[in-house]
Homo-oligomer: A and B are copies of this chain.
């Protein structure tokens, strides 16, 4: 069997953990499997490198930033190979050039175009464990690119797809994907399996287990993922195309506290204004999430939407500068809000799910500020203070019931 195993930065943060990972890989190797390991940079290395760069240039060129950051994973893979050597197992580390992993040219946020498998396959055929740098690639100029935060997950999935691997295991510091955050909802359950679509909704809603792009890629290429812990031998959660079996009505409850609500009051009720607002924000790379438009007084309307908390200030600034042109009377920003979502493929065939969710929230006295839905998801915006109570109530209603 050919297995791709990906370990995040905290799994290789120090000597002890490096040997822990080495031993887990060697275990599979000694059973006769071919093993490809994808690593992130050790512990806080990436943050430290970013800090170092910014002390020299607060706004460093992205190409040079990628050149710098790539050292993080290169250090991890070289040290891992040394650890395996000391355990008597042949291995080789490979960076993005050596593989080679070709990406688009966009620095700091590149996407994979093509992965060569010749070098990896020939090293595997020589009986070596192959240790690959996550997060990075090369573009058509032979320059180093990075995939953005969480990109090592994507590297693992892309490699698994390119190599036709039998398994792709994503190791993290939790034992799998849970029905809710176990720190808030003590009776949250680990899921045995979950569909790509459900995982995508959960990931984008703040259940920070898997990088979203990696799940999209896994879905596209049909790579079955296993999310499991690098510290225990528990079985983990399988992410795959769930077909034929009846889907759970609601598979998980997710919370995103890093959200802010912006309200534009008294916007002129004429065609094209909403387009102008969101086109302007998109041009500044501000991701708008839930949007609600309501009739205001006289011939005006109010537009509310949520953005990532980190982008809220910038969004407000841009809107203020264009207040006249966009006919906005007043701009309001609120940060003490959170998104609570339920996700489940079963929603598609069951009515009344939303009503049941609203009932659960009503029962515990939680006020709903905004609502948005997709085919397999219902999201409500609530006050930040209500989050824990609301999450428990919704989880109890759907999953523990």
Residues of A participating in the B interface, judged by any CB pair closer than 8 Å: 15, 18-19, 49, 52-53, 55-58, 60-61, 63-65, 67-68, 70-71, 74-75, 77-79, 81-83, 85-86, 92-93, 95, 97-98, 119, 142-143
Closest residue of chain B to A55 (Cβ to Cβ) is: B15
Q: Which residue, A63, A65, A68, A92, has most C-beta atoms of chain B within 10 A?
A: A68
A92 to chain B: closest residue by CB: B63
Q: Are B97 and A82 in contact (CB under 8 A)?
A: no
- Judge whether B56 and A18 touch: CB under 8 Å: yes
Task: Check B61 against A81 for contact (C-beta < 8 Å).
Answer: yes
Ranked nearest first, the 3 interchain pairs of A and B with the lowest CB-CB distance are A68-B78, A71-B71, A57-B86
Cα A18 to Cα B64 with chains together (Å): 15
Number of identical protomers: 2
Contact A79 B68 (CB under 8 A): yes
Given contacts A57-B82, A58-B86, 14 further A-B contacts (CB under 8 A): A15-B55, A52-B79, A56-B83, A57-B85, A60-B85, A60-B86, A64-B78, A64-B81, A67-B93, A68-B74, A68-B78, A70-B74, A71-B78, A98-B142
- Where chain A touches its partner, the secondary structure class is helix
A111 smallest CB distance to B (angstroms) = 21
Bound complex: CA A82 to CA B52 (Å): 11
Q: When chains A and B are docked, how far (Å) is the Cα of A16 from the Cα of B55?
A: 11
CB contact between A60 and one of B53, B64, B82, B97 (< 8 Å): that residue: B82
